[in-house]
């Protein structure tokens, strides 16, 4: 029979009544609290019994202290004299238990209790939640801030979209938490002024909200990973699938460092410094190492396969064949030295497929060097008409910079018939000379194309068939 039980903590730190009631119910079911952690609470099996718990607060308590402070020791001695036994610390909360139904309550002055709670919350609870709120609002603005100005940016990647939603959920939860605390404090002050105790808290509602927030975060992460997998190249999904457990491991190791320092009776400042040092070192080692491996082994882009170097440039030993259009398709000529790349980018709402090919021609020029050819294109498939319109507006204005006219470019409409497209735009320099870049518009699809030459009519038809209609 299992003697230990762990429970994810969703209780509110300042809800002393909720904590006391919960622990009394657990004791009646045969489980006694052994240790209250920040996230997990540890219970040990015991004989079911009707016992009383009491929670009081010590503002001087800290997880970095080598042991109980003088104030905590004095409190424990006073409580022991009154028939109460110390069970565990929970941040600034001190949890006591008694089996004596006649034991006097630990707190009798409600005004003093409320003031003590507020001082304790100011040591850990309030600063941490305010910092998380500021971070959540900043990251939400960074990810979703252009939604009403330049909405396309929000949908350019799954990471931006889902991280923005995730940080928005965090910010909303922190706003609720702070309003909840200050609202409870205001109600408690009025209740005490009327001669009553601190205001009650709807413990179940608070726990349900915490659980719902965890579920929403889990759903958001799962949807992000699924959206990355549906892109066809699971590089980012693989990265975050490894990143999440590594981050959990990092948090666990940092907390174990704090616990170890306490067992070694290290001073508070030594504990804090060691914990911070381990946090920084592990962050670089685990997360930085993961990022290095992801880039080194090509997780993000599906890997490039075996390569070789020729004329100080890398080429594919076996060029990939999954590009919808290649230089060989356009010219009818295979190339001895060829480099091909394909990346699935964008988001679920605005998928992008970017392809690029670089090849040396098989014949050498007069200078003894082989000529080169390049082909690059990006296929956009917006899933809504308003995204299509926003994409076209963004692409058409992309290189138009009146502030630097010598480097500014602009797109001009040209006859789409040879391309078999709905609309075609070619890019021009400000002096009127054309570049070899086009925007091709098809139903539900936009193609940004760049070549080293202006294609002939048969090549335009092939490009339309491969990229606009048949890709």
The candidate with the shortest Cα–Cα distance to 63, out of 32, 88, 33, is 88
User: To which residue do tokens 């909200």 refer?
Assistant: 209
Report pLDDT for 471.
47
pLDDT at 124 over 80: yes
Report pLDDT for 312.
84
Report pLDDT for 286.
79
Least confident of 64-78, 110-124, 202-216, 399-413: 399-413
Residue 226's pLDDT band (cuts 50, 70, 90): confident
Question: pLDDT for 6-23, tens place per residue?
Answer: 998 888 999 999 999 999
pLDDT at 180 over 70: yes
Give the mean pLDDT of 432-450.
93
Question: pLDDT for 58-83, tens place per residue?
Answer: 888 777 777 777 778 888 888 888 88
177-185, long-range: CB within 8 Å, 24+ apart, which pairs?
A: 177/129, 178/126, 178/129, 178/130, 178/133, 180/12, 180/206, 181/14, 181/121, 181/125, 181/126, 184/14, 185/114, 185/118
Give the mean pLDDT of 133-139.
92
Confirm if 207 and 213 have CB atoms less than 8 A apart: no
Question: pLDDT for 391-421, tens place per residue?
Answer: 999 898 876 666 666 668 889 999 999 999 9
Residue 121's pLDDT band (cuts 50, 70, 90): very high
Give the mean pLDDT of 23-51.
92
CA distance 19 to 6: 16
Which residues are CB-neighbours of 44 under 8 A, at least 6 positions away? 3, 4, 5, 31, 32, 34
Least confident of 68-82, 102-116, 447-461: 68-82
pLDDT at 367 over 60: no
Report pLDDT for 108.
83
Confidence (pTM): 0.78
């Amino acid at each position: 029979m299992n003697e230990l039980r762990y429970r994810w903590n969703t209780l509110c730190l300042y809800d002393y009544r909720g904590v006391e009631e919960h622990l009394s119910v657990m004791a009646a079911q045969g489980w006694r609290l052994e240790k209250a952690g920040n996230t997990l609470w540890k219970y040990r099996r015991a004989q079911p019994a009707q016992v009383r718990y009491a929670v009081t607060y010590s503002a001087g308590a800290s997880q970095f202290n080598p042991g109980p402070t003088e104030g905590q020791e004095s409190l424990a001695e006073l409580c022991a004299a009154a028939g109460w036994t110390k069970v565990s610390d929970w941040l600034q909360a001190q949890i006591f238990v008694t089996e004596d139904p006649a034991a006097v309550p630990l707190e009798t002055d409600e005004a003093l209790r409320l003031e003590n709670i507020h001082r304790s919350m100011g040591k850990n609870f309030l600063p941490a939640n305010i910092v998380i709120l500021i971070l959540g609002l900043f990251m939400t603005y960074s990810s979703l801030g252009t939604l009403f100005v330049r909405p396309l940016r929000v949908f350019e990647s799954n990471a931006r979209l889902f991280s923005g939603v995730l940080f928005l959920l965090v910010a909303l939860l922190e706003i609720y938490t702070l309003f909840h605390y200050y609202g409870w404090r205001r109600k408690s002050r009025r209740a005490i002024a009327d001669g009553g105790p601190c205001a009650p808290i709807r413990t179940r509602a608070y726990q349900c909200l915490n659980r719902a927030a965890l579920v929403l975060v889990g759903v958001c992460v799962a949807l992000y990973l699924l959206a990355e997998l549906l892109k066809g190249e699971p590089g980012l999904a693989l990265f975050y699938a490894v990143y999440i457990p590594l981050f959990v491991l990092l948090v666990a190791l940092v907390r174990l460092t704090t616990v170890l320092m306490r067992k070694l009776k290290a001073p508070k400042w030594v504990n804090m410094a060691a914990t911070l040092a381990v946090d920084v070192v592990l962050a670089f080692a685990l997360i930085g190492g993961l990022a290095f491996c992801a880039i080194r082994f090509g997780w993000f882009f599906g890997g490039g396969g075996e390569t070789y170097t020729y004329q100080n440039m890398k080429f594919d030993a076996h060029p990939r064949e999954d590009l919808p259009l290649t230089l060989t398709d356009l010219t009818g000529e295979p190339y001895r030295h060829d480099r091909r790349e394909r990346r699935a980018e964008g988001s679920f709402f605005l998928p992008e497929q970017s392809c690029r090919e670089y090849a040396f021609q098989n014949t050498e020029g007069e200078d003894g060097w082989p000529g080169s050819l390049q082909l690059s294109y990006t296929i956009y498939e917006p899933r809504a008409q308003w995204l299509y319109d926003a994409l076209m507006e963004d692409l058409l204005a992309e290189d138009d910079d009146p502030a630097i006219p010598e480097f500014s470019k602009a797109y001009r409409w040209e006859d789409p018939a040879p391309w078999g497209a709905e609309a075609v735009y070619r890019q021009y320099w400000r002096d009127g000379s054309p570049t070899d870049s086009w925007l091709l518009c098809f139903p539900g699809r936009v193609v940004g194309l760049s070549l080293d030459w202006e294609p002939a009519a048969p090549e335009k038809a092939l490009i339309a068939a491969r990229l606009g209609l048949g890709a």
